[in-house]
Amino acid sequence: MFKNTPLTSIHEALKAKMAGFAGYNMPISYKGIIEEHLNIRNNVGVFDVSHMGEFIVRGRQALPFLQLVTSNDVSKLEIGDVQYSCLPNKDGGIVDDLLVYRLTEEMCSEGEQSFMLVVNASNIEKDWNWLEGHKSDFEVDMINISEETGLIAVQGPKAAEALQSLTDIDLAGMKYYTFEKGRFAGLENVLVSATGYTGSGGFEIYCASGQLVDVWNAVFEAGKSLNIQPAGLGCRDTLRLEMGFCLYGNDIDDTTSPLEAGLGWITKLQKGAFHSSEIMMQQKQNGVVRKLVGFEVNDRRVPRHGYPIADASGNAIGEVTSGTMSPSLERPIGMGYVKTEFAKAGTEIFVQAGSKNLAATVVKLPFLTK
C-alpha cells in the first residue's frame, strides 16, 4: 500500500498518471513527459516532492558529527547556505546523496548549531538508521520531520517571476544554493531555497504538510499568466539526466565511490577524517578503475539501465546506469560506468541492447549546456 502526499487528491483531479515510487503514490505525468520537460526548460513548472525526507540535526557537536558522516566540508556553510553532499559508507560507497542546510540558531541553546538534511525518499529509514548508528559519541539531537513537512519544487527560467508576488523575499536576488525563511502565500516561516534538480533554475518551497494544498493553489494562481503547469516524476528524470545529475539507485549506490561518479567536488579529503576518507584518498592518489561517463547513442534506440557496454571488439567494459531520449536534444543519451581508459570524451563505445550493438560516443557532461 502506497502512502499519499498532501497533494494526491489534486494530482488525481488533474488526471495525472500515478504510480508507486519510493513507497508513495506519485504523479508520473499529466499531459505528457515531453511537454512537461520542455515547459520547464522554457517556462515554469511545479513538482510535488513531498516524498523527500527531512531531518533536523542540532546540538553542540552537530558540526563535527556532520563532518564525520558527510563527504563535503560542512564548516564552510554560513547560515542560509545549502550544500550538496553524500553520506559515505565505510567501504568506499555511498549510503545516499543529500542536501545540507545551515539553519538559524534561534531555536538552539548557546553554543549549539542547527542543520536540516534533505534525503532521498527511498532512503529515509536507511539514512536515519545510519546516522543514528554513528551519533553516540556526539552531543547532538536528530528529529525526523519528514511526515510533517510539505515540499514543492517550482522550476524553470520564469520561476522567480511566477512566485515573486507571493513573498517579500527577493527571489531574483537569491544566490544559487542559498535559502531564506519568510512570508510566502500568506503564511509565515516558509523556507524558500534556490536549489533544484533540473538545471533550469527555480526554487524549492518547504512548509507544514497541512499548508501545502494552499501553497500549491496560491502558486498556480500567481503563475497563471505565465501558463504555469504541473510536472511529474517522468520529466524530473529526463531533466536531471540532461544535466548529468546522478540518481541514487541508478548512477550511485552503496557500491559506487563518489570519485568514480565524478563527485570529487563534494569529497573534501583535506577537511579531516570522515567515513571512507582513507579509501577515497587512495583512489585519488592511485586513480579509479572505472568512471561514470555520459554518452550519446548514434541510433534512435534508447539505452536502458543495466544494458552492458562493450568496446569495439565486444569486450565488456561497463554498464548503463541511466538512459532516455532527450526531449531537448532529440537524441538518445545515457550515463554508465566504464573502465577508466574508455572514459575520455570522443571515445567510441557500444551499448548492447539484446542482440543489437548500439554505437555510442562518450561526451562531456552536462549533455545540455546553456
Q: pLDDT tens for residues 203-214?
A: 999 999 999 999
Indicate the CATH number for domain 53-144. 3.30.70.1400
Q: Give per-residue pLDDT as tens, 9-29.
A: 999 999 999 999 999 999 999
Q: Which three cell numbers stand for residue 193?
A: 531555497
CATH 3.30.70.1400 region(s) of the chain?
53-144
CATH 3.30.1360.120 region(s) of the chain?
8-49+148-241
Distance of CA 34 to CAs 23, 156, 234, 326, 359, Å?
25, 15, 9, 9, 25
* Stretch (H or E) spanning 358: strand 356-363
Of 3.40.50.2300, 2.40.30.110, 1.10.132.20, 3.30.460.80, the CATH number of 244-363 is 2.40.30.110
Phi-psi region of 355 (alpha: psi -120 to 50; beta: other; left: phi over 0): alpha
Question: What crossing angle do the helices spanning 233-242 and 33-42 adopt, rounded to 10°?
Answer: 60
DSSP class of 307:
-
Distance of CA 11 to CAs 85, 252, 363, Å?
31, 30, 37
Residue 188, pLDDT > 70, answer: yes
What is the mean pLDDT of the segment spanning 152-162? 98
What is the mean pLDDT of the segment spanning 194-220? 98
CA atoms within 13 A on the CB side of 6: 23
Residue (of 59, 57, 107, 108) closest to 87 by Cα position: 57
Q: Which three cell numbers stand for residue 252?
A: 550511485
Give the pLDDT confidence score for residue 329 in this predicted structure. Answer: 97
Give the pLDDT confidence score for residue 370 in this predicted structure. Answer: 64
Q: Give per-residue pLDDT as tens, 46-100.
A: 999 999 999 999 999 999 999 999 999 999 999 999 999 999 999 999 999 999 9
Give the pLDDT confidence score for residue 1 in this predicted structure. Answer: 82
Give the pLDDT confidence score for residue 84 in this predicted structure. Answer: 98
Given a contact cutoff of 8 angstroms between Cβ atoms, the answer to whether 45 and 236 are in contact is: no
Q: Give per-residue pLDDT as tens, 221-267.
A: 999 999 999 999 999 999 999 999 999 999 999 999 999 999 999 99
d(C-alpha 198, C-alpha 46), whole Å: 11
d(C-alpha 83, C-alpha 114), whole Å: 14
Give the pLDDT confidence score for residue 314 in this predicted structure. Answer: 95
Give the pLDDT confidence score for residue 176 in this predicted structure. Answer: 97
- Of the pLDDT bands very low, low, confident and very high (cuts 50, 70, 90), residue 106 is confident
**What are the DSSP calls for 80-137, one per residue?**
TBEEEEEEE-TTSSEEEEEEEEE--STTSPTT-EEEEEEE-GGGHHHHHHHHHTT-TT
DSSP class of 199:
S
Q: How much of the chain exceeds pLDDT 90, in percent?
A: 97
d(C-alpha 56, C-alpha 48), whole Å: 21
CATH 2.40.30.110 region(s) of the chain?
244-363
What mean pLDDT value characterizes the chain? 97
Assign domain 8-49+148-241 to its CATH architecture: 2-Layer Sandwich (3.30)
Residue 108, pLDDT > 80, answer: no
CA 209 to chain centre: 21
DSSP class of 197:
S
Distance of CA 127 to CAs 134, 221, 280, Å?
11, 36, 21
d(C-alpha 169, C-alpha 173), whole Å: 9
CA angle at 133 for the pair 127 and 137, rounded to the nearest 5°: 130
What is the mean pLDDT of the segment spanning 326-352? 98
